[in-house]
C-alpha cells in the first residue's frame, strides 16, 4: 500500500470535510510535528502519514477508512485501553505524541467534543511508567549568542532547572555529561557533527521571550506548551559555572567507560557499575551524575570523603542505612507529581513508605553533619496524615479502596450500605435460582449495570416479571423491576462513595502541594546518603582508599576498579609523575592502554569525592581531562581511523591548558612507522612548549627516545614482567610481541610461520 495513492493531509479542503475530519484537522494543524492519536469510541486512530509511521513503529495494521466526502484515507488504530504501550514505543523511536480524547461534553449541534488530554515528548515526561527509573531524563535548551552559548537544562520529572554558558567545546562537553534525550534550539540554529546524535526540536521565535536568557526562556515556554496545566512547580533556578567541573568531552567519557562499557554499550562493566551498591532509583541516578560530574573544588571533595569515611568506619550507621534505604521508592520523581497535583493513591502510598523512616534518617544526618531533613517536623506530620488516610494494602489501593476506615464517617456508612446492597444482589440471585429451578442462572455486572443471564439451553420458565434485554446464540439477558431497583440503589451508593473519596483525594493533593519542596529536599538527602553508603561499601569490598591532594600525580599500586572486580588476580601498578610528561612503552598485551584508563578512572573517582582503588593516590585536582584511546574508521563521517585520531588530537590541543591531564594511546599507529613517529614527536613537542599540560602517552615507537634525548620535561617508562608480576620501570621497551599475541589468539600455525619468515626481511 503506497502512501502516494491516498489522500494526503496537506491536500485536504477544510470546507468540504465531514465534522470528524474537521475536528482532526484543527488539532493536527496545531501539532504538525506530533503523531496525533485521535479517539473514536474505544479506539485511538491515526491518519495520513501519521498512520504510516505509527504502523511502522508499533506493528499495527495499516488500513484505510472511507469518508463519503473525501474518499479513502490511510488509517492505523489501536484499542484505547492499551494506548500507553504504543505511546512508549513511539517515544522510544523519538516521535512526539499528542493524544486527543473524547469527552462527555456536546457542542451546540449535539456533536461530541474532543480535547487534547496529553502531549508527550521524550524530554517532558512526568509519568513514571515512561521513564527509566535509573536514568535522568534531561531536556536541554541551547542558544547561540555572538561570543558564547547559553545552556539551560532540566529533568522535568524531578523539578530542577540549571543554567550556564560557555564556548562551543565546553557546551559539547556538557552535552556529553548530560546525555540529553531532547534538545531544543531556535529555527536558525546550525548544529555540527558533535551534537548530531541527540534529538532536536527547532522552535519558533514565540518561545524566546526573555532576551536576558534566551535558552532559559525557551526551556520554560516549551515545557508550558507541552505540559500546560500539568507543569510541575520548579525549584529556584540554579546557575552554575563550567569551570567548577572537571571538563570531560564525549570521546574521553566513552574511552574511560564511565557509564557504559565499550564492548556492548551496556551499564554492566562500566566504572559506575563497579561502585554501584545503591538501593533507591534516585540514589542510582545521583551516583551516575556524580561519576559524570567530577568537581575541582577541594573543599567539596573533602567534605564528601569525610562523610564516606564516617559511614565506612561506623558499622551501626551502615546497618541502619542498609535496613531503611531498601524500602524507599522514587519519591523524588513523585514529589514532581505532588507539586502538579497528579499524584495517584498508589503513589501516595509509595511516598508514605518513603517517609516512614524519617526520624532514623534524620538522626544519621546529625551524626554525619548533614543538613536537617525534617525542619519543624512538617514531613513527620505529613507522614502521619498519609498513614491515617491511605490504605496499607497495595492490592486494595489498586482496586480503588484506597481510603482507610475511620477517615470519613459518611464514607464508612455508604461503604457499609454498598456492601449490604451487594449482599442483597447475591440473595436475589439465590432466590431466582430456587423459584425458576435454573441452577445456571446468574446475575452479572457489565458496563455499570446488573443483568440476569440465563443459558439458552434451559427450558425452565423464568417468570412473568422477566424482561428480555438481549439475546445471542448462547445466553439471554433479562432484568426485573426488583433488579432495576437494587441496581439503582447500589449505583447511587457507589457514586456517593466515589464522590467522597474523590473529595478526600483532592484535599490531600491540595495540602501535599505545599509540602512538595520539603519532600523533594528529603528525597535528595536520601539519594545522597544512598550514594555515600554505596561508596563506603565499595571501599570495604575493594580495599579502596581516600585520595590525598598534593602537587604531583602519584599512584602506588593503582587498580582499575572495573577490571579489579572482573579479574581475581588483577595486578596493580605504580607510577609517579616527576616530569610534565611520561612516555610509556611495553609489549602488546602488557597493559599500557589499561594503565591509561586506570589513571583516568582514578582521577574521575577522586574528583567526584569518592574513594579510589590504590594503596596511595595523590593529585592536584585537574580542570580538564582528555584521552584518545580507540579511534576507529567511521562510515558516516567518511574518515579513516588515522583521520579520526588526528581530529581528536586537534580538539585536545585546542582546548587543553596547564590544568589539564592528557592520556593518548599509540598516536600515529594507523599510518607508516616513520610518519607516525614524526607526528607523535611533533604533538609531544607542541604540548610541552605550548600547553604545559600533564600527560602520559603510550607508544610502540622506541625511536622517540633519541628524538627527546635532551628533553628534561619528559620521562620514559616501560611496563615489564618480572617473576610473573608486572611493574613500571624507567626505560624504553623495543618489545612488541605482535606475532606472539597472534599466536596466543590461536591463529593457524602456518600464518605464524609465514610471519616469522617475513619478519627479518622487512625493513
Residues 222, 475: Cα–Cα separation, whole Å: 55
Q: What is the CATH number of domain 548-732?
A: 3.40.50.300
CATH class of 128-244: alpha beta
- Grid coordinates of 174: 556538557
Task: Tell me if domain 3-120 and domain 548-732 are identical in fold.
Answer: no
List the strands of the sheet with 467-471, edge to edge.
442-446, 449-455, 475-479, 467-471
Cβ atoms of 598 and 560 within 8 Å: the answer is yes
Mean pLDDT comparison of 195-204, 260-269, 540-549, 625-634, highest-scoring range: 540-549
Please report, for residues 67, 439, 505, the alpha-carbon distance to residue 560 in angstroms, rounded to integers and kept in the order given.
66, 74, 52
Domain ranges, ordered by start, for the chain: 3-120, 128-244, 548-732
What 8-state DSSP symbol labels residue 572?
P
- Is 80 exceeded by the pLDDT of residue 739? no
Of the candidates 537, 538, 579, the one whose C-alpha atom is nearest the C-alpha of residue 559 is 538
Residues 108-155 have pLDDT tens digits of 888 889 999 999 999 999 999 999 999 999 999 999 998 899 999 999
Measure CA of the first residue to CA of the last residue in the chain; give whole Å. Answer: 63
Angstrom distance (rounded) from CA 25 to CA 56: 22
* 568 — pLDDT class (breaks 50, 70, 90): low
Q: What is the pTM of this model?
A: 0.91
What's the confidence (pLDDT) of residue 198? 76
Q: Is the pLDDT of residue 233 over 70?
A: yes
The three-class DSSP label of residue 393 is coil
pLDDT tens, position by position, 325-377: 998 999 999 999 999 999 999 999 999 999 998 888 988 988 898 876 665 68
Fold of domain 3-120: MutS, DNA mismatch repair protein, domain I (3.40.1170)
Amino acid at each position: 500500500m503506497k502512501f502516494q495513492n491516498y489522500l494526503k493531509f496537506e491536500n485536504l479542503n477544510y470546507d468540504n470535510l465531514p465534522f470528524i475530519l474537521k475536528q482532526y484537522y484543527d488539532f493536527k494543524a496545531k501539532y504538525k510535528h506530533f503523531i496525533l492519536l485521535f479517539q473514536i469510541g474505544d479506539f485511538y486512530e491515526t491518519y495520513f502519514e501519521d498512520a504510516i509511521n505509527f504502523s511502522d513503529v508499533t506493528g499495527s495494521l495499516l488500513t484505510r477508512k472511507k469518508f463519503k466526502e473525501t474518499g479513502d484515507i490511510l488509517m492505523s488504530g489501536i484499542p484505547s485501553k492499551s494506548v500507553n504501550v504504543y505511546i512508549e514505543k513511539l517515544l522510544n523511536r523519538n516521535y512526539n505524541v499528542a493524544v486527543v480524547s473524547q469527552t462527555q461534553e456536546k457542542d451546540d449541534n449535539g456533536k461530541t467534543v474532543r480535547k487534547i488530554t496529553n502531549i508527550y515528548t521524550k524530554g517532558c515526561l512526568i509519568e513514571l511508567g515512561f521513564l527509566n527509573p535509573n536514568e535522568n531524563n534531561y531536556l536541554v535548551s541551547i542558544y547561540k549568542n555572538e561570543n558564547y552559548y547559553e545552556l539551560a537544562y532540566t529533568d522535568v520529572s524531578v523539578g530542577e532547572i540549571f543554567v550556564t554558558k560557555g564556548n562551543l567545546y565546553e557546551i559539547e562537553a556538557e552535552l556529553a555529561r548530560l546525555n540529553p534525550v531532547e534538545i531544543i534550539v531556535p529555527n536558525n540554529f546550525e548544529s555540527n557533527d558533535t551534537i548530531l546524535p541527540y534529538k532536536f526540536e527547532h522552535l519558533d521565535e514565540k518561545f524566546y521571550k526573555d532576551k536576558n536568557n534566551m535558552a532559559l526562556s525557551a526551556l520554560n515556554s516549551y515545557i508550558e506548551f507541552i505540559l500546560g496545566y500539568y507543569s510541575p512547580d520548579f525549584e529556584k533556578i540554579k546557575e552554575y559555572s563550567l569551570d567548577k567541573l572537571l571538563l570531560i568531552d564525549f570521546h574521553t567519557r566513552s574511552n574511560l567507560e564511565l557509564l557504559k562499557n565499550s564492548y556492548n554499550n551496556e551499564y554492566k562493566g562500566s566504572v559506575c557499575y563497579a561502585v554501584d551498591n545503591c538501593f533507591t532509583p534516585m540514589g542510582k541516578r545521583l551516583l551516575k551524575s556524580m561519576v559524570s560530574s567530577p568537581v575541582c573544588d577541594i573543599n567539596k571533595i573533602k567534605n564528601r570523603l569525610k562523610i564516606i569515611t564516617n559511614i565506612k568506619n561506623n558499622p551501626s550507621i551502615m546497618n541502619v542505612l542498609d535496613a531503611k534505604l531498601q524500602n524507599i521508592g522514587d519519591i523524588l520523581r513523585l514529589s514532581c507529581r505532588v507539586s502538579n497535583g497528579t499524584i495517584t493513591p498508589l503513589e501516595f502510598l509509595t511516598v508514605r513508605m518513603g517517609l516512614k523512616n524519617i526520624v532514623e534518617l534524620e538522626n544519621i544526618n546529625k551524626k554525619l553533619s548533614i543538613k536537617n531533613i525534617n525542619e519543624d517536623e512538617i514531613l513527620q506530620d505529613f507522614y502521619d496524615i498519609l498513614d491515617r488516610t491511605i490504605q496499607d494494602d497495595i492490592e486494595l489501593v489498586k482496586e480503588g479502596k484506597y481510603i482507610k476506615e475511620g477517615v470519613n464517617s459518611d464514607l464508612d456508612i455508604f461503604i457499609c450500605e454498598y456492601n449490604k446492597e451487594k449482599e442483597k444482589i447475591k440473595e436475589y440471585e439465590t432466590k431466582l435460582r430456587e423459584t425458576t429451578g435454573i441452577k445456571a442462572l446468574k446475575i452479572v455486572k457489565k458496563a455499570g449495570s446488573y443483568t440476569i443471564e440465563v443459558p439458552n439451553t434451559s427450558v425452565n420458565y423464568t417468570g412473568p416479571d422477566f424482561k428480555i434485554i438481549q439475546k445471542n446464540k448462547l445466553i439471554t439477558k433479562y432484568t426485573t423491576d426488583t433488579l432495576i431497583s437494587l441496581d439503582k440503589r447500589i449505583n447511587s451508593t457507589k457514586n456517593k462513595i466515589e464522590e467522597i473519596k474523590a473529595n478526600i483525594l483532592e484535599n490531600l493533593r491540595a495540602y501535599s502541594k505545599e509540602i512538595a519542596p520539603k519532600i523533594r529536599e528529603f528525597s535528595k538527602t536520601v539519594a545522597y546518603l544512598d550514594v555515600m553508603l554505596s561508596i563506603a561499601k565499595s571501599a570495604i569490598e575493594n580495599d579502596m582508599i581516600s585520595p590525598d591532594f598534593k602537587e604531583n600525580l602519584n599512584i602506588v599500586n593503582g587498580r582499575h576498579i572495573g577490571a579489579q572486580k572482573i579479574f581475581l588476580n588483577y595486578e596493580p601498578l605504580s607510577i609517579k609523575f616527576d616530569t610534565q610528561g611520561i612516555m610509556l612503552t611495553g609489549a602488546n598485551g602488557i597493559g599500557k592502554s589499561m594503565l591509561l584508563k586506570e589513571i583516568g578512572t582514578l582521577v574521575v573517582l577522586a574528583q567526584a569525592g569518592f574513594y579510589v582503588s590504590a594503596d596511595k593516590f595523590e593529585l592536584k585536582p585537574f580542570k580538564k581531562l582528555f584521552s584518545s584511546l580507540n579511534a576507529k574508521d567511521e562510515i558516516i563521517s567518511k574518515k579513516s581511523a588515522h583521520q579520526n585520531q588526528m581530529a581528536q588530537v586537534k580538539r585536545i590541543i585546542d582546548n587543553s591548558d596547564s590544568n589539564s591531564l592528557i592520556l593518548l594511546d599509540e598516536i600515529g599507529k594507523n599510518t607508516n612507522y616513520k610518519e607516525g613517529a614524526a607526528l607523535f614527536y611533533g604533538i609531544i613537542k607542541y604540548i610541552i612548549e605550548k600547553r604545559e599540560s600533564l600527560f602520559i602517552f603510550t607508544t610502540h615507537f622506541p625511536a622517540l627516545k633519541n628524538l627527546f634525548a635532551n628533553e628534561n620535561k619528559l620521562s620514559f617508562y616501560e611496563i615489564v614482567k618480572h617473576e610473573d608480576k608486572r611493574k613500571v620501570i624507567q626505560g624504553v621497551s623495543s618489545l612488541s610481541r605482535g606475532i606472539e599475541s597472534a599466536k596466543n589468539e590461536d591463529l593457524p600455525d602456518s600464518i605464524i610461520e609465514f610471519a616469522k619468515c617475513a619478519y627479518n626481511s622487512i625493513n
